[in-house]
Structure 1
């Protein structure tokens, strides 16, 4: 003979089973979406750059198994990134240590065992934080630009527009006097000549040029002139 208590327990057990089935179906759907999305997705620990999770797309693109990728640190990025672009991995790591809200850019990446590099666009954002509020894990999405061949005209316009806005942002960081100094430096004038032209002391010009390099994140005059021309100085 079943009591009311037995009936209630059976109903509760049935409800739990149904809820578990729904959760299982939902997890399977989400996993299917993450593995089918046309992007390479992964999370990594920002302290040691070790990968904590990735989708099948990342593993397939780079020629590693999901098991191999999980736990790999900087050696993974050394394997896949062009030597000239590898420094970006360190820059990204430091950016989030400095509490940057996102990090994005393009880099040359290749599959394990292949020689040819592809151009990938990546965007990273903080995902988890530790008890002290420091960024712990980062989630990243990579898109393969080498396969984006159906909208060549739009890609060209988009990249030009992005560069124009970036250059405007760089220019807006400079004061009016720094812009004057930069314009004359691009024309090939040295500090003494710039000081004479602007009626400034040579020390003041040197200070302006130091501040310009810091704001534009360049190390020397060659890099300064190169980025100034991209901004629009001739």
Structure 2
């Protein structure tokens, strides 16, 4: 004979089983979305730049199994990225050590065994943190720009707009006097000539140029002139 207590337990067990089945179905549905979304998704440990998880789309696009990616550590990125772009992986890693909220950019990536590179757009954000509040894992999404063939006109406009905003952001970092110094430097004037033109001491001009290089993150005059022209100085 079943008591009221037994009946209640059976009902509770049935409800839990039903809830468990619903959770399984939900999990499978979410997993299918993650593996079917037209983006390369992955997580990596920011301490050693080791892949901790990726979706099927990324594994197929790069030609490496998840286990191979994890085993290679930082070398995985060295294998798939163009040599001139690999430094971005190191910069991204340091950015999150410095508590940056996100990191994004474009890079040339190639599949295992291929010789040709594709342009990918990537965006990374912190995903997990350790007990000290330091970023532990990063989640990243890559989109293949070479497949954006249906909206070429819009893509061109979008990239131009992005570059314009980036240039404005760089320009806004400079003080009015630094802009004066930069404009004359782009024209080819040396520090003495700039000092005479602006009625400043040569030491002051040198200080301005040093600050400009730091703000624009360039190492020498050649890089300074190149980025200044991109910003709009002629």
TM-score by length of 1: 0.99
Measure, in 2, the Cα distance between the counterparts of 1:49 and 1:8: 52
Give ranges in structure 1 of 5+ residues lacking alignment.
none
Secondary structure of 1:137 counterpart: strand
1:197 positional shift: 0.6
Output the CA distance in 2 between the equivalents of 1:208 and 1:94.
Answer: 27
List structure 1 runs of 4+ shifted beyond 4 angstroms.
none
Match of 1:176 in 2: 176
| Residue aligning to 1:137 | 137
For 1:171 and 1:79, locate their aligned partners in 2 and report how far apart those are by CA, in whole Å.
Answer: 36
Once residues 123 and 82 of structure 1 are traced to their aligned partners in structure 2, the CA distance between those partners, rounded to angstroms, is 18
Deviations 1:190-230 (A, max 9, x none): 00110111111111000000000000011110010001001
Task: Tell me the residue number matched to 2:5.
Answer: 5
The secondary structure found in structure 1 opposite 2:218 is coil
What is the 5 A alignment of 1:1-234? 1-234=1-234
Once the two structures are TM-superposed, the CA of residue 6 in structure 1 deviates from its matched residue by 1.2
Question: Counterpart of 1:113 in 2: which secondary structure?
Answer: coil
Distance in 2 of aligned mates of 1:65 and 1:51: 11
Instruction: Give the CA deviation at 1:67.
Output: 2.9
Structure 2 Cα separation of the partners of residues 138 and 73 of structure 1: 14
Report the Cα distance in structure 2 between the residues aligned to 1:113 and 1:34, rounded to whole angstroms.
26
- How many residues of Structure 1 are paired with residues of Structure 2 in the alignment? 234
Query: CA, structure 1 residues 26+70, in 2 after alignment: closer, same or farther (shift >3 Å)?
Result: farther
RMSD between aligned residues = 0.8
Aligned to 1:126, the other structure's residue is in SS state strand
Contact 1:39/1:142 (<8 A) preserved: yes
The answer to whether the Cα contact below 8 Å between 1:52 and 1:71 also exists between their aligned partners in 2 is no
1:24-72 per-residue CA deviation (whole Å, 9 max, x = no partner) reads 0000000000000000000111000111111001100000123322454
| Counterpart Cα distance in 2 of 1:70 and 1:216 | 35
Output the TM-score relative to the length of structure 2: 0.99
